[in-house]
Chain A
């Protein structure tokens, strides 16, 4: 991993920062993530059944085998997943060999120990030395399976990263919406003579927004920061659309320290303005409700539906981009749902509540040799 200059420990989430290609992606899959856990469990169990089918003779032998294999595989897999979940963060950023070593070593040791404990039951005839060798073989098999899974999940993750320079450029252009830029500049110019202070503030807000637009969108930020950015964005639009744009923030119960990919909410709010407010002659209200329910963060953005269907089909790019990044960060635990009711359009985003941990000492990242 490239050291992150911001020095923010991103906690349990993938610290996807400043990655130019997949070379510095963490080797180990995130075993704290439900999606990863499910994928691993399914693979292991399918593998176990296949293995049983290969080594068994006859139907009776097959069920016997399955029972034996499951007795070792299930506890060993679960233990490995649980141990690797916190351990992964410790080895992230270490050399790839250490990461592979841990990723294969933990399942190997777990299988070895479980096999050894159960050896007496499954292989009662062999002696203690026999048990050791038998358990070691199971350990080696587990290490092999772990390597296969690690590689598969790593390549899967890699394939979902916006691939090369081209993809990144497109993503950048999608974020810098030309309409917004030119309209905002026009607003600032319109204010320049009559209200110089307001013009100044607007340029400051615009600068903040563009700084973030040009940042790596995989960066994780606390919710507080994203909300502030959305407010800056809305204050620019408010100047332009004046009374036509009404905004209601319902964020008293918002967990401000929850982490999410940067620019996850702003494009959704921009969409709400673009499709819900701009086509209307009458004032319209955008409601943003953010709250924590259990261990999940729930964001609801509501805007009035346009009075008539738009002449040109709406731009789905923002939505699919947000959905994709939600998936990249939270896997199956991130959700984006669209609903339409009583003249209102609502986007609901849900993701697990992972909070920002203490700020790491910045100097640690600039650990020079001299």
Chain B
């Protein structure tokens, strides 16, 4: 069965999922595949993708909590930073009539199916998906997210096979350390594998860069204080630190960022 394509079905409506299952069963002779799972919501979907590594994901756009496009952005962000051993799953969107879908999907590297889905159309989309170059597909998804003005409202943290969605408004700072980024909330720290630069690009209106390795949420900045180095660094130049709400910790502001950061002090 190794040549059978693995497929994951994501839709919040049980009847819609069973319809896709029936159609796929009909197509089995022409398109050998196995359905590796089903998911009804975003957290479930993200852990299933992580766990069963499907080659193709059939993804409904209108879902509660998180739209399909937002979910796809999580998948692509994970693939962008993750190990190359995990190829980006190929996403085929499924949607009922939607005003933004039609124009946004001019992007050629992503496919979408209109509900009710026809089996011939599904077959075409599956075959086309297998022919895609994963990196192009990933760019196309980011492009689609921008075109539809979709930004993630969570960061997805992978912890022991589970996926935790951390709401962005709880994040106090993001700090790059080696190959990971530490996500700090009032309660605890999480580790994610993403790039600080792309996070800054995506969430630039909420986070401000204070250092080469750190982004701080603007609402979490309580103030700044000037520090004169003591102990082993004694004699070094004085520098500024950010005082944060909800956590004791302080983060240093680099000399280069200070000129733009100091304007935040009112």
Please report A residues at the B interface, Cβ cutoff 8 Å: 178-179, 181-183, 185-187, 189-191, 193-194, 239-242, 244, 278-281, 307-308, 311
Q: Does B114 contact A (CB under 8 A)?
A: yes
- Contact between A279 and B65 (Cβ–Cβ < 8 Å)? yes
- Encoded as 1 (CB less than 8 Å from any A CB) or 0, chain B from 13 to 56 comes to 11110110010000000000000000001000000000000000
Cβ-defined contact, B64 with A186, below 8 A = no
A179-B97 contact in complex given A278-B62, A279-B64, A281-B41, C-beta closer than 8 Å: yes
Contacts of A190 in B (CB 8 A): 15-16, 18-19, 22
Report whether A183 and B115 are in contact in the complex, using a CB–CB cutoff of 8 Å: yes
Q: Is there an interface contact between A240 and B13, defined as CB atoms closer than 8 Å?
A: yes
* Given A178-B97, A281-B12, A281-B41; 6 other pairs, CB 8 A cutoff: A182-B96, A182-B97, A185-B116, A187-B16, A193-B22, A311-B67
**Which of the four size classes fits the interface of chain B?**
20 to 34
CB distance B96 to A179 under 8 Å?
A: yes
Q: Give B142-179 interface residues, CB cut-off 8 Å to A.
A: 153
**Alpha-carbon distance between A277 and B41 when the two chains are bound, in angstroms:** 14
A187 to B116, CA, bound (A): 8
Residues of chain B contacted by A281 (CB below 8 angstroms) = 12, 41, 64-65
Q: How far is the CB of B48 from the nearest CB of chain A, in Å?
A: 16
Bound: A305/B188 CA distance, A: 30
Within 8 A of A (CB), among B53-81: 62, 64-65, 67
Residue contact A240 to B15, C-beta cutoff 8 Å = yes
Q: CA A242 – CA B98 in complex, angstroms?
A: 22
Name the A residues within 8 Å of B18 (CB-CB): 190, 194
Q: List B contacts of A239 (CB < 8 A).
A: 15
Query: Are A182 and B115 in contact, CB atoms less than 8 angstroms apart?
Result: yes
Q: Which residues of A contact B16 (CB under 8 A)?
A: 186-187, 190, 240
Which residues of the other chain, A, contact B115 by a CB distance below 8 angstroms?
A: 182-183, 185-186
Out of B67, B116, B153, name the residue touching A189 (CB < 8 Å). B116
**Measured between alpha carbons, how far is A241 from B116 in the docked complex, in Å?**
16
Question: Which A residue's beta carbon lies closest to that of B94?
Answer: A186
A242: which B residues are within 8 A, CB to CB? 13-15
- Residue numbers in A under 8 Å from B64 (CB-CB): 244, 278-281
Interchain nearest-CB distance for A271 vs B (Å) = 16
A-B contact pairs, 28 of them (CB 8 A): A178-B97, A179-B96, A179-B97, A179-B98, A182-B97, A182-B114, A182-B116, A185-B116, A186-B115, A186-B117, A187-B16, A189-B19, A189-B116, A190-B15, A190-B19, A191-B15, A193-B22, A240-B16, A242-B15, A278-B64, A279-B64, A279-B65, A280-B64, A281-B41, A281-B64, A281-B65, A307-B65, A308-B153
**Bound: A108/B59 CA distance, A:** 73
Contact A241 B114 (CB under 8 A): no
Q: Chain B's interface: helix, strand, loop or mixed, by majority?
A: loop
A182 partner residues in chain B, CB cutoff 8 A: 96-97, 114-116
Which of B19, B65, B67 lies in contact with A186, CB distance below 8 A? B19
A178-B97, A280-B64 are known contacts. Are A186 and B14 too (CB-CB below 8 A)?
no
Residue of B nearest to A187 (CB): B15
A278 to B22, CA, bound (A): 25
Chain B min CB distance to A262 (Å) = 25
Min Cβ gap B200→A in Å is 22
Chain B, range 81-114, C-beta contacts under 8 Å to A? 96-98, 114
The smallest beta-carbon distance between B68 and chain A, in angstroms, is 13
In the bound complex, CA of A280 to CA of B65 (Å): 6
Q: Give 6 closest A-B pairs by Cβ, nearest first.
A: A190-B19, A190-B15, A178-B97, A182-B96, A186-B115, A186-B116
Residue of A nearest to B97 (CB): A178
Residues of chain B from 194 to 213 with CB closer than 8 A to chain A in the complex: none
**How far, in angstroms, from A278 to B13 measured CA to CA in the complex?**
10
Give the CA-CA distance A226 to B140 in the complex, in Å: 47
Could you say which residues of chain A place their CB within 8 Å of the CB of B67? 311
User: Distance in Å from the Cβ of B67 to the closest Cβ of chain A?
Assistant: 8
Query: Which residues from chain A contact B117 at a C-beta distance below 8 Å?
Result: 186
Name which residue of chain A comes closest to B65, CB basis. A281
Chain A residue nearest in CB terms to B115: A186
Give the docked Cα–Cα distance between A121 and B117 (Å).
Answer: 85
Distance of A45 from chain B, by nearest CB (Å) = 51
A280 to B12 alpha-carbon distance, docked (Å) = 11
* B244-264 vs A, Cβ < 8 Å mask (1 yes, 0 no): 000000000000000000000
Report the separation of the CA atoms of residues A281 and B67 in the bound assembly, to the nearest whole angstrom. 12
B65 contacts A241, C-beta separation under 8 Å: no
Name the distance in Å between B212's Cβ and chain A's nearest Cβ.
33
Beta-carbon nearest neighbor of A242 in chain B = B14
With a cutoff of 8 Å between Cβ atoms, the chain A residues found around residue B14 in the complex are 242
Q: Give the distance in Å from the alpha carbon of A186 to the alpha carbon of B15 in the complex.
A: 8
| Chain A residues positioned under 8 Å from B116 (CB to CB) | 182, 185-186, 189
CB-based contact B96/A183 at 8 Å: yes
In the complex, the chain A residue whose C-beta lies closest to that of B114 is A182
For A198, give the chain B residue with the smallest CB separation. B15
Kindly list chain A residues whose C-beta atoms are within 8 Å of the C-beta of B19: 186, 189-190
**List of A residues within 8 angstroms of B41 by Cβ:** 281
A157→B163 CA distance, assembly (Å): 60
CA distance A307 to B96 in the complex (A): 23
Complex Cα spacing A281 to B19, Å:
21
Complex-state Cα separation, A307 to B22, whole angstroms: 33
